[in-house]
Structure 1
Amino acid sequence: MKAQRKITFFNLAIVLALCLGSLTYGYTFSIVSTTLGQPSWFEYFDLTQVATEPRYAYTNSIIGAMNGCFSVGGLFGALFNGWSCDYLGRRKTLLVATPIAIIGGALQGGAAHIAMFLIGRVLGGFAVGILVVLVPLFQSEIAPPATRGFLVSQHGVVLVFGYSLAAWIGVASYFSKNPAFQWRFPLCIQCLFPLAMLILTPFLPESPRWLLMNDRFDEAWAIVLKLHADGKDPEAEDVHFATEEFYQMRRQVAADKAVASQETLMTLFTKPSYRKRMICGFLTMFGAESTGILVIYNYSVLLYQGLGFSGSLPLILAAAYVSVACCGNYVNSLLIDRVGRVKLLLIGFTGCLITLCFESAMSALYIGITPMNHAGLSAGVFFLFLYITFYGCCIDANTYVYCSEIFPTHIRSRGLSFSVACLFLSTIAYLEAAPTAFAQVGWKYYLLFIILTAINIPLIWYYFPETKGLSLEEIGEKFGDEIVMHLTDLTDEQRAELDREIASNKQQAGAVHVETKAEPNSLTEKSVA
């Protein structure tokens, strides 16, 4: 049977509700960039933006600590999620993350001293470390195969929308006559999104694959049916698809559980098919961060100031920069199910490499040169925007899609948590060092990202399998695992068996869908051994 391409309203509503977690991550992470553009923040905490003052080295260490604390919190949050998602479930883990995000935002917005501010950054990082893993994982487990890339890509789209929102709120706040409002208000806004997520979470269904892993078959079947049928009558094609997918999910989960009982944490690195996934997850996240994306964005205001812009203009350019990234992520979501994950990654990394080379050349030739060369500095801004166009259209959302779908159900949360932990480890190293690196070696810091990206491109081309259009269960075959059955390429025997299942479940499937609850049916009564 051809994989379902239609997206139901119920499916889309869940994806978009989960994107409040993406918005929390994007806004919480990026609000520091606009904070660095507010002179009142520097004045309140007795910091300086003048390189010749004695406190400048201390200021650089605090700026590095702001991002370092966030990344450390994110690292532990991502690792915590690997346990929590399996033990508590996807939905209950949301109820852990959102209150912590609210507290972290409140501490930052109400900070009376720099230590309170940094503690808020740690808590905010911990919360979004959970959310940035959980949201794409949850989305991937409820999406149909043919449109999974588009749906999970909304995590990246909304995440970068959070960047953009933080940037424009920072621009607007800059013109306030109240110095405290200039930096406190944008920081306090970050409490709103996790609060909305906290309110909506009780209304979200649990992941059907997690329910199957915990032997809650009837609940899982009711959710799968509603996800794919969404008001259709029992004769509809979508009901057939839901029946087939649920049958495949049950069989594969049963096989995975039998294997999981004999595995340990080290199996993730010792079993060849798992090890390949872990390497792919690491290279995806590490490679994306090694383009220098977060260094360039988080310090974009400082970079624009270094390129000769002053006043509110650096904030406006930073806001425009992430707005381009937001549009690029939506383009990514439209392309990913057509072009494929791996091909887009290769295009994106190559584009970032080329534009970063030009950007480093413009910085070397024109930053700090007297008299100021406005054409050369404008060219530097152009290449920064071209860089983010490649990254947004091909890489950003794609990384979360790919890492969320390559792991089997019983290790998905741990595998994705490991991948995102690599992201935060990278940001700790890159962001903590960036203020001092730009002050000491300037444009040469770009060479690190140029070299790493040049190494990552052939590794991705050679090592990464393509996953577009396949169900989560079928992707395992790309890594060498045994697949119990294929949803998108059924054998005649499987087709005959499933036709019997569909015929025997038509009326009951309709009843389940109308009543929005599951009743015993032949799918849950049959052995899948």
Structure 2
Amino acid sequence: MTNSYNQIVLLAVSVGSFNYGLSFGTSSAIIGLEGFLDYFRLHLEGEDAAYASSMQGAFTGVFFAGGFFGSFIFAWLADYIGRKRALDVMSIVALIGSIVSGASFHIGMLLAGRVITGLASGGMNVIPPMFQSEVSVAEHRGRNVGLHGFMFVAGLATANWAGLGANFSPNEQLQWRLLLALQAVPSILLLILRFWLPETPRWLTLNGRPDEALDTLKKLHDDGSDAEHQRALDEQQEIVKQIELDSRHDTSWKALFTRPSARRRMLLGIFLMFFQQSTGQNVLYGLQINILNSLGLTGWKASLVISCYITWAAFLNFVGAALLDRVGRRTMLLIGLAGTTIADAIHTSLAVTYGGGTNKVGAGAAVAFLFLFITFFAPCIDVTSYVYGAEIFPTYMRARGLAVTIATYFGFAAVYTAASTAANNSIGAKFNIIFISLSAINFVVAYYVLPETKGLSLEEMGILFGEETEVAHIESGTVSPSDPKIEPVNIQVQSVAVEE
């Protein structure tokens, strides 16, 4: 079971997830504030329109670019110095980014701050779900790692509500500076909470510290009824044996794509984030303002509706996390793909027909189906994709596999967002046809390639990828409490001889 100490650890780590959502949402929250647009000359009308358009695009683009590279940097750090210390570095970088952004006095400094924040955000999307997966018991891992998706969207909702409140501030410069500085709060909180966080038992075992790993497992997974810590002993023995089996293979970056089972995991992680972004969620969220304007909802009224939309998504992410261990990852993802495809198809038809017109009933129906879209996306795809991506990789390649997975997320987010800006000016909502088509295709592909991971320990995942003979199996109670000594295993994540 997940005991109280484990729950505290999971919640503390998810502060990093909240930080990512807050950082991500801040850009869209401040881009509509008059004080921000006036200070940096970013109004899309007038003689500076071309400059403003390019700078607004850069403001979003550099964040995603930073996230892309940050995914790899912090994954490397998580392997090299440990998950906990990498979390520390991530928080410090995020704090620096928020300070530079909030203190910006010209556009170059603002963009530099967003790059730094983006780098940290790459880590925020890699380390928390990886950390959570490595300290969770198999039967509750979906709910536990699902905290990442919930807290991410909770941070996004907080940014939107803060942006709504900023509309009413009489000090126009304080509006946007305060929002940018707000990103520092979760960074500072995480640096304080780190003193109560353990290192993950799998990283400790991987780096020759099994005794420390065993002590951590006892704290994390014993519920008081297991006086002899049998569960922790069995779990540690399974981790050790699996690392020994994995060490017989080449563990270099190249091998992640040349070894068939590792390549399948990697491609599955890439596909996972490709179809997540190919639903068009970020684009639909970004273009929502156009539909709201056609209804006569502008300014703070439009911000209010969007804030409610994101808050609904956060609640549904929480519901999705609670359902994952019962319904299963594969089932949730397939339901989400089917539901979002249908909802987007109807929304797009209504948006093309009534968007920008005077028929408020039709435009209102378009908004309603946008809410139906997020009702399927949030619990079934958003929260599930992070859980799935964090658990399909073995310990020796989890950081790197998740780095590639999250980099795919940032890469396609940047491409689709950039393309939507130009497409919206020329074809409007018709651009969504691309996402509807891709999602329909992805549903068919997902049906055939997604295995179910529910209920399996992280060490047992190899069974799903053709490694039946290379998966550690430990019978309950095989390790004697009177002789819990486990020999150290120190497997460096690099190329080693392959045992044929």
Q: Scaled by the length of structure 1, what TM-score is found?
A: 0.89
Mapped pair 1:429 → 2:422:
no
Mapped pair 1:160 → 2:188:
no
Q: Which residue of 1 aligns with 2:236?
A: 246
Separation (CA, whole Å) in 2 of partners of 1:484 and 1:421:
29
Q: Which residue of 2 aligns with 1:522?
A: 485
Q: Which residue of 1 aligns with 2:320?
A: 332
Separation (CA, whole Å) in 2 of partners of 1:435 and 1:302:
12
Separation (CA, whole Å) in 1 of partners of 2:44 and 2:283:
18
Q: Which residue of 1 aligns with 2:352?
A: 364
Q: Which residue of 2 aligns with 1:499?
A: 477
C-alpha RMSD of matched pairs (Å): 1.9
Separation (CA, whole Å) in 2 of partners of 1:307 and 1:63:
25
Q: Which residue of 2 aligns with 1:401?
A: 387
Which deviations, in whole Å up to 9, do the C-alpha atoms of 1:345-369 show, x marking residues without a partner? Answer: 1111111111111121122111223
CA apart distance, 1:202? 3.3
Cα–Cα, structure 1 residues 194 and 300, in superposed 2: closer, same or farther, change >3 Å? farther
Cα–Cα, structure 1 residues 483 and 209, in superposed 2: closer, same or farther, change >3 Å? farther
Q: Which residue of 1 aligns with 2:441?
A: 455
Kept in 1, the 8 Å contact 2:294–2:360? The answer is no
Aligned match for 2:282, one of 275, 294, 298: 294
Q: Which residue of 1 aligns with 2:497?
A: none
Separation (CA, whole Å) in 2 of partners of 1:395 and 1:83:
27
Kept in 1, the 8 Å contact 2:211–2:486? The answer is no
Read off the aligned partner of 2:458 and give its amino acid letter. L
Q: Aligned runs of 1:356-395 on 2, under 5 Å?
A: 356-369=344-357, 372-395=358-381
Number of residue equivalences: 490
Q: Which residue of 2 aligns with 1:517?
A: none
Which deviations, in whole Å up to 9, do the C-alpha atoms of 1:137-194 show, x marking residues without a partner? Answer: 0100010000000000001011100011111111111111111122221111011101
CA apart distance, 1:299? 4.6
State the secondary structure of the residue aligned to 2:76: helix
CA apart distance, 1:377? 1.1
Mapped pair 1:26 → 2:21:
yes
Structure 1 unaligned residues grouped into runs of 5+: 1-5, 488-493, 506-520
Separation (CA, whole Å) in 2 of partners of 1:305 and 1:123:
33
Separation (CA, whole Å) in 1 of partners of 2:49 and 2:330:
43
Which deviations, in whole Å up to 9, do the C-alpha atoms of 1:195-232 show, x marking residues without a partner? Answer: 11112223311111111111111101100111111545
Kept in 1, the 8 Å contact 2:245–2:470? The answer is yes
CA apart distance, 1:431? 1.5
Q: Which residue of 2 aligns with 1:491?
A: none
Q: Which residue of 1 aligns with 2:494?
A: none
Read off the aligned partner of 1:20 and give its amino acid letter. V
Kept in 2, the 8 Å contact 1:37–1:315? The answer is no
Read off the aligned partner of 2:68 and give its amino acid letter. L
Read off the aligned partner of 2:31 and give its amino acid letter. L
Aligned match for 2:258, one of 267, 270, 275: 270
Read off the aligned partner of 2:482 and give its amino acid letter. S
Q: Scaled by the length of structure 2, what TM-score is found?
A: 0.94
Q: Which residue of 2 aligns with 1:117?
A: 110
CA apart distance, 1:503? 4.8
State the secondary structure of the residue aligned to 1:501: coil
Q: Which residue of 2 aligns with 1:65?
A: 58
Q: Which residue of 2 aligns with 1:106?
A: 99
State the secondary structure of the residue aligned to 1:432: helix
CA apart distance, 1:305? 2.9
Kept in 1, the 8 Å contact 2:97–2:116? The answer is yes
CA apart distance, 1:55? 3.2
CA apart distance, 1:90? 0.5
Separation (CA, whole Å) in 2 of partners of 1:383 and 1:299:
14
Q: Which residue of 1 aligns with 2:496?
A: none
State the secondary structure of the residue aligned to 1:499: coil
Aligned match for 2:175, one of 170, 182, 195: 182
Q: Percent identity?
A: 38
State the secondary structure of the residue aligned to 2:155: helix
State the secondary structure of the residue aligned to 2:482: helix
CA apart distance, 1:36? 2.1
Separation (CA, whole Å) in 2 of partners of 1:212 and 1:380:
53
Q: Which residue of 2 aligns with 1:226?
A: 219
Q: Which residue of 1 aligns with 2:31?
A: 36
